Structure 1
Amino acid sequence: MMKPARTLLGLALLFAIAGGLFALPGLRAALALPSLPSLYSSIVADGGSTLVQGVPYGPLGRNLLDVYRPASGDRSGPIVLFLYGGGWRSGERSTYGFVGAALAARGITTVIPDYRLFPEVRFPSFVEDAARAYAWVDATLASAPGGRRPIVVIGHSAGAHIAALLALDTRYLGAAGPDLARPAGFVGLAGPYAFDATTYPSTAEIFTPAVGSQDARPLSFVSERAPPALLLHGTKDETVGLWNTRALAEALQARGRDARKIELEGIGHAGLVLAISRPLRWRAPVLREIVAFVTAVAAK
């Protein structure tokens, strides 16, 4: 149990963080303050895990990742690749240490990479970075004595958009490694899967290379080969419309795929991912649902 002083400090930081989140109109940028959120993350992170920081997964400056492993040393269980949000403009992997620590404490090795952001790059460079990180996980962590460890991709907001493209558009993993298999599962937290990023005012400049195509819409790549999916969205999300999650769930189910949609009453955009942190788990069963899904996928 958290000590009262640590709990109060964590909550104070939480409110300071949440008050500054998603300040941009439309698809607002998430977690653009690296130091304060990282401090919150370190205070509220679960025990029961070990951390290796700043591991290169590619040649570029932001091609770095952190690895959270169960403290037990077990290296046979499932692996999660977690992609944070930030409107494709901002974000730091250290901000989401509470996600990595929470999953690792429950037996799930978790990898959180940074990826290149606008204005340094435009679409699809950040998806290509995520595919490169996935290839690193597959080559470095997925081998186990009993066989390959399943890899589940999880993303929040813009990170859910990127994760969905990894799971649904085979071109990215195909380019990152000829033998890379699709993820064993996909978890999307409030992702913009169906909107047209090339026409939306706050994202049009980021997605100019996709003008005239459907390449930036994960919904366009749903097929009978899509992996199992868990899609969560808060009913009070004013940043990414709930219709995105409903549309993707319906499209997957129409093709006979295993897709579960959970709409969480009273939860907003930032609150969805922050509910994974210890002070806010009482608000929504996000962590419990993710762990159950990853465990079920790994058992198949």
Structure 2
Amino acid sequence: MGNFVLWFFLGFILASCSLRGITVSENITYMEEGFLGEMPQKQLNIFYPKKITDPLPVLVFIHGGSWRSGSKERYGVLGRRMSRREIVTVIMDYPLSPEYKIHTMGMAVAKALDWVSENISAYGGDPGRIVVSGHSAGGHLASLVAVRDVYFDSLGVRNPIAGAALIDAAGLDMYHYLKEANNAPGTSHLRTFTDDPEVWRATSPIYFLHEEMPPMIFLMGGKTYKSIREGTDRFMQAYSDFEPKPDLRIQKNKRHVPMIVQFLYTPGRAFRWVRDFVKNID
């Protein structure tokens, strides 16, 4: 984790040397303290070009950290680099475990996406072209809200997601993983997903695939964690029933953390894959 933070810090310094043409609006509250009676205040950062002629596609990025750590501040490099490529980019925070559980996180992500849908036009973004993305635990949350409308329905709003870009996503079949792990109650990921198998299943995107899903791109490291490789394989088998040619990009020599660190380098192919996917959403 120390090397991960160091790389992003160095990338931030490099990016800060050339901020021309980019506007950054920081710490915008998308959810007030006490929302739905239990939610904490949460904020997001928006990165967008200073000169915008026509509405631009939008990327909403959800950070990883095993559902218990991480923050939007670490991903300013991603926001700046994407916005220089004519993509309005939103980096969001969400409630973390163990104080908050997985359904609360899903609700917060839905609230953030609804806020973006209602407000992003003021920053040059097109509310009809919102792509949700995330790495690791963030990839899980992105996929969950992309295939399940239940969190949006609970808020009384529509699901605005037009596409999803998942970067080494964890938890695509958390039900299967937790059953196999057989952890003692209240330990490990159970602090996030609770001890209830019904919650595990309800928050596993693999069980909620359907014909009306938005298009998705999947990036996976060939040397990532075994649980992610196995979960992605299981997800692809189910997903192929709806999309016969899934857009899965495997970077065979990449481990889990380098899958997101590589986004420091704009010329990198993973950056181009996600950039092009977002720009082609209509």
If the length of structure 1 is used for normalisation, what is the TM-score? 0.80
**CA deviation after TM superposition for structure 1 residue 212, in Å:** 2.9
Q: Distance in 1 between matches of 2:53 and 2:233?
A: 36
Relative to 1, partners in 2 of residues 1:210 and 1:49: Cα closer, same or farther, differing over 3 Å? farther
Are the equivalent residues in 1 in contact too, given 2:56–2:86 (CA < 8 A)?
Answer: yes
Other-structure match for 1:191: 169
| Secondary structure in 1 matching 2:277 | helix
Secondary structure of the 1:276 match is helix
**1:148, CA displacement in angstroms?**
4.4
The AA in structure 2 aligned to 1:42 is F
Distance 1:215 1:111, change over 3 A: same
- Say if 2:240 is the partner of 1:253: yes
Give yes or no for the alignment of 1:208 onto 2:187: no
SS at match of 2:232: helix
Partner of 1:176: 155
- Distance in 2 (CA, whole Å) between partners of 1:265 and 1:241 is 14
Partners of 1:296 and 1:119 lie apart in 2 by 38
Task: For 1:128-139, list aligned pairs within 5 A.
Answer: 128-139=107-118
Q: Distance in 2 between matches of 1:129 and 1:103?
A: 23
Which residue of 2 is the match for residue 17 of structure 1?
3
Distance 1:65 1:73 in 2: 21
Q: What are the superposed Cα offsets for residues 217-237 of structure 1, whole Å, 9 maximum, x if unpaired?
A: 111111111110000000011
Q: State the match for 1:295 in structure 2.
A: 279
1:108 to 87, 102, 107: 87
- Amino acid of the structure 1 residue aligned with 2:225: E
1:86 aligned residue (24, 45, 65): 65
Of 151-160 and 202-211, deviating more is: 202-211
1:164–1:188 CA contact under 8 A, matched in 2: yes
Is 2:128–2:160's contact at 8 Å kept on the other side of the alignment?
A: no
Contact in 2 for aligned 1:57/1:133 (Cα 8 Å): yes
CA drift at 1:242: 1.4
Does structure 1 residue 121 correspond to structure 2 residue 88?
no
Counterpart Cα distance in 2 of 1:77 and 1:295: 8
**Residue 142 of structure 1 contacts residue 149 of structure 1 at CA under 8 Å; is this kept in 2?**
no
Q: Identity across aligned pairs (percent)?
A: 25
Query: Which structure features the higher share of strand residues?
Result: 2
- Pick from 27, 40, 43 the counterpart of residue 13 of structure 2: 43
- Tell me, in whole angstroms, the C-alpha distance in 1 between the residues paired with 2:262 and 2:128: 27
Contact 1:198-1:207 within 8 A present in 2 as well: no
Instruction: Render the CA deviation track for 1:11-59: whole Å, top value 9, x for unaligned.
Output: xxxx9523xxxxxxxxxxxx6xxxx566334213374421110000011
Separation in structure 1 between the aligned mates of residue 147 and residue 221 of structure 2, nearest angstrom = 23
Give deviations 1:237-267, integer Å, cap 9, x for gaps: 1364212223223322212377300110201
Alpha-carbon distance in 1 for matches of 2:134, 2:123: 25
Distance 1:269 1:87 in 2: 12
Cα 1:145/1:42, change in 2 over 3 Å: closer
What's the counterpart of residue 53 of structure 1? 26
2:117 and 2:160 in contact (8 A); partners too: no
What SS does the aligned partner of 1:246 have?
A: helix
Structure 2: gaps spanning 5 or more residues:
34-39
CA 1:204 to 1:189, structure 2 compared with 1: closer, same or farther past 3 Å?
Answer: same
- Structure ranking higher in helix proportion: 2
Which region of structure 1 is more displaced relative to structure 2, 188-197 or 166-175?
Answer: 188-197
Q: 1:145 to 1:16 in 2, by over 3 A?
A: closer
The structure-2 alpha-carbon separation of the partners of 1:44 and 1:238, relative to structure 1 and needing over 3 Å to count, comes to farther
In the alignment, which of 140, 150, 171 is matched to residue 161 of structure 1? 140
Pair 146,232 (structure 1): closer, same or farther in 2 beyond 3 Å: closer
- The alpha-carbon deviation at position 75 of structure 1 amounts to 5.9
1:215 Cα deviation after fit = 0.6
